[in-house]
């Protein structure tokens, strides 16, 4: 009887979305998914390409993509209603620079795959650092109110109504408005020359894109448009920005992160929806100006807007420094860039070979005339001061410091360096915080260690500070001074210090030469405190030391200084720890998680990833359990799904395991660490 039951046939309803019609197909429990789709297509009297279509089960929010599985195996019965729909659908994506692009994404694959395909089209390497974010409507409304006055002032000549400008779902209005001058359709023409799995850009493939002009006609923009963003984003993009005032508001933003292991369709994303593409994991791997022009620009833009909206807090001096670098970016982006002549092809080949050698061997710490030794580990040694803070002030004590690999050793004198060290610290996974003031000749930096109390190191001059600060920063990321990025790190620190010098004979631009709108360069806090002319004068004064910086160098400098901020890379969540009656803030960074008091904003407790043994989710209680050395942390998240936190922690662990630049992302390992599946 059971065999007869399996062979009995029944009609299965399948809705064909392209035709807006429903069709019945005769099946039984042993019918394969592939046979079902074949019978469905053959029963249609329409000649069309159905290769991109798949079966979607709305009740279960599940794709039926494996053609060999039977309906009984999947659990499809007679009351089910399936959909036969395209797997690729169009969505509107806002990039980190606030440009909107219309792309076709695969709605049947996990978002991790969809972001990989999107970044391949855009020319962005290392797509595992990015993800898709749903815009939160509550924040969108708040952002509109906060920017209302500014928009009326700067766009008073616009004849568009505010309702049309702020509409995010009306495709016709967007295409016809003046705010949609940069909405390219990245699927209307061939893709980038993007053949390698790690996303190496093939610059020999000239590609253009179609875009919508102000009159609605289709124009063309170059592929370099993503490497140089518009000077002023659209009204819609500006109005959607949100300026969080509390840690709780910062935490609400993270509610929208989508599950990387599930598809867009499974997470209720409809066709023509608006999504945000953002850098999710602040652990940027192998930033190379020669091949990452688009990536660096998008990263710079995300950093810029995080500073301007005060999502990442900084001091007034740091804000002016960022404003000066941003002003240099604006100047160099509007002027022709000096291009190296390509008369001799051998020069390009030699340069490429030198870059490859530097990547494989690491940067040289010797002078250009010296031969680099490949058998010794680079080290630096010098007399520095260790600062010890006490109740009534601080005390500095002189030691002979030796830095080798990621180990910092302290000796009483240079003569005793061959004996036992007074103190020894492993800086892998630590946090480096600069404390420098060039005008006061203060060159200090703090090292927040994971197993002992924090230390503060005092250098005597700029060159000494630059070398030791760069070495400690690399060590905190698990890298040594043999890494190819050491020289670039030193140069970036020196460029930052040069901006704090008294300008002397340098002649800054006068405010009348170039118009500066302070709201484009500084956050609301400074706008309320100072007049526009005062801010403009201080920006131009700080900018006078940056006149020789190129466009890419300026963007890289901005990103490096952004990374040096104490609050850089912190993603906030509202949580309740087990045993506690009040809600607190959990901060997740690239190397640690922090328990933060929401009122004082002080870190009550810090756990480094290096001390974590395991992390998992109790799905019955929706609690996160993190096992560290000596303690177990348990908490529930009230501002987002607990899966988001699990994915953040697992994602950062995955980022720390990346070794080879030329290897594609290990998707199976990523899903394993983030609690997903392949």
pLDDT at 104 over 60: yes
Separation between Cα atoms, residue 87 and residue 56, nearest integer Å: 9
pLDDT at 51 over 70: yes
- Residue 45 is assigned to a structural domain of this protein: yes
pLDDT at 200 over 70: no
Q: 46: which 2 tokens?
A: 């329409």
Confidence at residue 133, expressed as pLDDT on a 0 to 100 scale: 94
Q: 47: which 2 tokens?
A: 């000649």
Residue range of the domain that includes 611: 571-673
**pLDDT tens sequence across 343-397:** 444 555 665 666 655 555 544 443 333 344 445 678 899 999 998 876 566 788 9
The DSSP result for 386-425, as a single string, is: EEEEETTEEEEEEEEEEEETTEEEEESSGGGTTS--SEEE
Separation between Cα atoms, residue 354 and residue 485, nearest integer Å: 14
Q: What is the mean pLDDT of residues 441-461?
A: 84
Which of 427, 451, 481 is the C-terminal boundary of a domain?
481
Buried b (16+ CB within 10 A) or exposed e, 433-465: ebebebeeeebbbbbbbbeeeebbbbbeebebb
Q: Is the dihedral of CA 99, 104, 109, 113 positive or negative?
A: negative
Separation between Cα atoms, residue 297 and residue 551, nearest integer Å: 10
Which residues have C-beta within 8 Å of that of residue 250, sequence separation ≥ 6? Answer: 244, 311, 572
Confidence at residue 496, expressed as pLDDT on a 0 to 100 scale: 77
Per-residue confidence band for 35, with pLDDT thresholds at 50, 70 and 90: very high
Confidence at residue 668, expressed as pLDDT on a 0 to 100 scale: 87
Confidence at residue 70, expressed as pLDDT on a 0 to 100 scale: 93
Confidence at residue 501, expressed as pLDDT on a 0 to 100 scale: 66
Residue with tokens 């007869």: 4
What is the count of structural domains for the chain?
A: 3
Burial class (CB in 10 A: 0-12, 13-18, 19+), 605: exposed
pLDDT at 422 over 50: yes
The DSSP result for 615-641, as a single string, is: EEEETTTTEEEEEETTEEEEEEESSS-
pLDDT at 13 over 90: yes
- What CA–CA distances, in Å, run from 300 to 96, 558, 561? 9, 7, 11
Q: What is the mean pLDDT of residues 230-239?
A: 86
Which residues have C-beta within 8 Å of that of residue 375, sequence separation ≥ 6? Answer: none
Least confident segment among 62-66, 612-616, 643-647, 664-668: 664-668
- Residue 562 is assigned to a structural domain of this protein: no
Q: Which of 177, 181, 206 is nearest to 192 (CA)?
A: 206
Buried b (16+ CB within 10 A) or exposed e, 466-500: bbbbbbbbbbbbebbbbbbbbbbbbbbbbbbbebb
pLDDT at 88 over 90: yes
pLDDT at 221 over 90: no
Per-residue confidence band for 545, with pLDDT thresholds at 50, 70 and 90: confident
- What is the value of pTM for the model shown? 0.77
DSSP state of 430: -
More confident position, 515 or 21: 21
* Chain center to CA of 473: 19
Q: What is the mean pLDDT of residues 18-25?
A: 92
Q: Is the dihedral of CA 519, 525, 530, 534 positive or negative?
A: negative
Name the pairing type of β-strands 10-16 and 81-86. parallel
Separation between Cα atoms, residue 675 and residue 127, nearest integer Å: 19
Q: Which of 282, 220, 151 is nearest to 590 (CA)?
A: 282
Separation between Cα atoms, residue 260 and residue 647, nearest integer Å: 8
Separation between Cα atoms, residue 545 and residue 373, nearest integer Å: 36
More confident position, 190 or 526: 526
- Residue 41 is assigned to a structural domain of this protein: yes
- Residue 67 is assigned to a structural domain of this protein: yes
Confidence at residue 342, expressed as pLDDT on a 0 to 100 scale: 40
* Chain center to CA of 204: 27
pLDDT at 193 over 60: no
pLDDT at 663 over 80: no
Name the pairing type of β-strands 218-222 and 130-133. unpaired
Q: Is the dihedral of CA 626, 629, 632, 633 positive or negative?
A: negative
CATH of the domain at 43: 3.10.20.90
Q: Which of 242, 43, 12 is nearest to 145 (CA)?
A: 242
Confidence at residue 627, expressed as pLDDT on a 0 to 100 scale: 94
Separation between Cα atoms, residue 313 and residue 273, nearest integer Å: 31
- Cβ atoms of 575 and 636 within 8 Å: the answer is yes
Per-residue confidence band for 20, with pLDDT thresholds at 50, 70 and 90: very high
Separation between Cα atoms, residue 589 and residue 563, nearest integer Å: 11
Burial class (CB in 10 A: 0-12, 13-18, 19+), 634: middle
- Residue 516 is assigned to a structural domain of this protein: no
pLDDT at 97 over 90: yes
Which of 65, 86, 107 is the C-terminal boundary of a domain?
86
Q: 148: which 2 tokens?
A: 């209302």
For the chain, count helices (H), then strands (E).
19, 25
Helices 316-334 and 532-543, packing angle to 10 deg:
70
Strand, coil or helix: what is 352? helix
pLDDT at 145 over 80: no
Residue with tokens 């830095």: 403
Per-residue confidence band for 138, with pLDDT thresholds at 50, 70 and 90: low
Q: What is the mean pLDDT of residues 243-267?
A: 93
Q: 645: which 2 tokens?
A: 């936190």
- Residue 418 is assigned to a structural domain of this protein: yes
Between vectors from CA 112 to CA 247 and to CA 210, what angle results, nearest 5°? Answer: 95
Q: 474: which 2 tokens?
A: 């690399």
Confidence at residue 158, expressed as pLDDT on a 0 to 100 scale: 37
Separation between Cα atoms, residue 3 and residue 72, nearest integer Å: 13
pLDDT at 506 over 60: no
pLDDT at 209 over 60: no
- Cβ atoms of 209 and 192 within 8 Å: the answer is no
Confidence at residue 191, expressed as pLDDT on a 0 to 100 scale: 34
With residues binned 3-state (H G I as helix, E B as strand, rest as coil), the percentages for the chain, rounded to 5, are: 35, 25, 40
Query: What is the percent of the chain where pLDDT is above 90?
Result: 46
Query: What is the percent of the chain where pLDDT is above 70?
Result: 76
Strand, coil or helix: what is 448? strand
Q: What is the mean pLDDT of residues 135-162?
A: 47
Q: What is the mean pLDDT of residues 29-39?
A: 93
pLDDT at 402 over 50: yes
Confidence at residue 383, expressed as pLDDT on a 0 to 100 scale: 93
- Residue 48 is assigned to a structural domain of this protein: yes
Q: 201: which 2 tokens?
A: 């850009």
- Residue 647 is assigned to a structural domain of this protein: yes
Separation between Cα atoms, residue 435 and residue 457, nearest integer Å: 10
Strand, coil or helix: what is 446? strand
* Chain center to CA of 329: 20
CATH of the domain at 388: 2.30.29.30
**pLDDT tens sequence across 576-634:** 999 998 999 999 999 899 999 999 999 999 998 988 999 999 999 999 999 998 899 99
Which of 66, 86, 106 is the C-terminal boundary of a domain?
86
């Amino acid at each position: 009887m059971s065999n007869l039951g399996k062979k009995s046939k029944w009609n299965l309803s399948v809705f064909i979305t392209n035709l807006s019609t429903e069709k019945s197909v005769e099946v039984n429990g042993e019918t394969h998914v592939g046979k079902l789709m074949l019978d469905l297509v053959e029963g249609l009297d329409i000649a069309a390409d159905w290769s991109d279509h798949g079966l979607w089960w709305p009740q279960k929010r599940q794709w039926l993509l494996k053609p060999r599985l039977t309906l009984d195996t999947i659990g499809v019965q007679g009351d089910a209603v399936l959909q036969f729909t395209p797997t690729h659908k169009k969505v509107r994506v806002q990039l980190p620079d606030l440009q909107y692009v219309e792309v076709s994404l695969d709605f049947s694959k996990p978002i991790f795959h969809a972001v990989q395909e999107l970044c391949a089209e855009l020319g962005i390497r290392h797509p595992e650092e990015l993800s898709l974010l749903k815009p939160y409507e509550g924040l969108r409304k708040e952002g509109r109110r906060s920017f209302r006055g500014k928009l009326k002032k700067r766009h008073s000549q616009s004849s568009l109504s505010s309702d049309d400008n702020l509409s995010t779902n009306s495709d016709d209005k967007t295409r016809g408005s003046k705010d949609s001058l940069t909405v390219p359709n990245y699927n209307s023409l061939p893709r980038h020359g993007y053949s390698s799995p790690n996303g190496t850009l093939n610059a020999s493939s000239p590609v253009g894109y179609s875009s919508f002009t102000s009159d609605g006609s289709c124009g063309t923009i170059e592929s370099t448009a993503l490497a140089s963003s518009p000077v002023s984003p659209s009204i819609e993009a500006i109005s959607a920005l949100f300026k969080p005032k509390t840690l709780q508001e910062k935490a609400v933003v993270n509610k929208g992160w989508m599950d990387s292991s599930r598809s867009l369709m499974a997470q209720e994303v409809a066709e023509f929806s608006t999504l945000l593409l953002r850098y999710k994991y602040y652990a940027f791997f192998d930033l190379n100006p020669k091949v990452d022009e688009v990536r660096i620009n998008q990263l710079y833009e995300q950093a810029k807007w995080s500073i301007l909206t005060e999502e990442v807090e900084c001091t007034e001096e740091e804000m002016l420094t960022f404003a000066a670098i941003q002003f240099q970016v604006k100047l160099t982006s509007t002027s022709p860039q000096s291009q190296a002549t390509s008369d001799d092809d051998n020069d390009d080949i030699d340069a490429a070979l030198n870059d490859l050698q530097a990547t494989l061997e690491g940067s040289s710490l010797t002078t250009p005339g010296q031969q680099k030794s490949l058998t010794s580990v680079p080290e630096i040694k010098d007399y520095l001061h260790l600062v010890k803070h006490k109740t009534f002030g601080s005390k500095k004590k002189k030691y002979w410091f030796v830095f080798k690999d990621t180990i910092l050793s302290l000796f009483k004198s240079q003569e005793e360096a061959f004996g036992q060290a007074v103190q020894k610290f492993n800086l892998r996974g630590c946090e480096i915080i600069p404390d420098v003031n060039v005008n006061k000749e203060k060159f200090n930096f703090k090292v927040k260690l994971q197993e002992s109390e924090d230390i503060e190191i005092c250098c005597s001059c700029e060159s000494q500070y630059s070398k030791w600060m760069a070495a400690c920063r690399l060590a905190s990321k698990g890298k040594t001074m043999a890494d190819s990025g050491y020289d670039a790190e030193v140069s970036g620190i020196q460029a930052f210090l040069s901006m704090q010098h008294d300008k002397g004979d340098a002649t800054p631009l006068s405010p009348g030469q170039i118009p500066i709108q302070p709201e484009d360069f500084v956050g609301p806090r400074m706008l309320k405190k100072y007049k526009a002319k005062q801010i403009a004068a201080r920006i131009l004064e700080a900018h006078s030391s940056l006149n020789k910086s190129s466009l890419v160098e300026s963007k890289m400098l901005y990103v490096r200084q952004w990374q040096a901020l104490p609050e850089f890379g912190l993603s906030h969540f509202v949580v309740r720890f087990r045993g506690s009656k009040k809600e607190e803030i959990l901060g997740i960074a690239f190397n640690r998680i922090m328990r933060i008091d929401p009122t004082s904003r002080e870190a009550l407790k810090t756990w480094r990833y290096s001390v974590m043994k395991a992390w998992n989710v109790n799905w019955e209680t929706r609690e996160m359990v993190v096992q560290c050395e000596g303690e177990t942390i348990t908490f529930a998240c009230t501002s987002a799904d607990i899966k988001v936190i699990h994915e953040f922690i697992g994602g950062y662990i995955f980022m720390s395991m990346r070794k080879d630049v030329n290897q594609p992302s290990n998707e199976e390992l990523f899903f394993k660490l983030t609690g997903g599946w392949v």
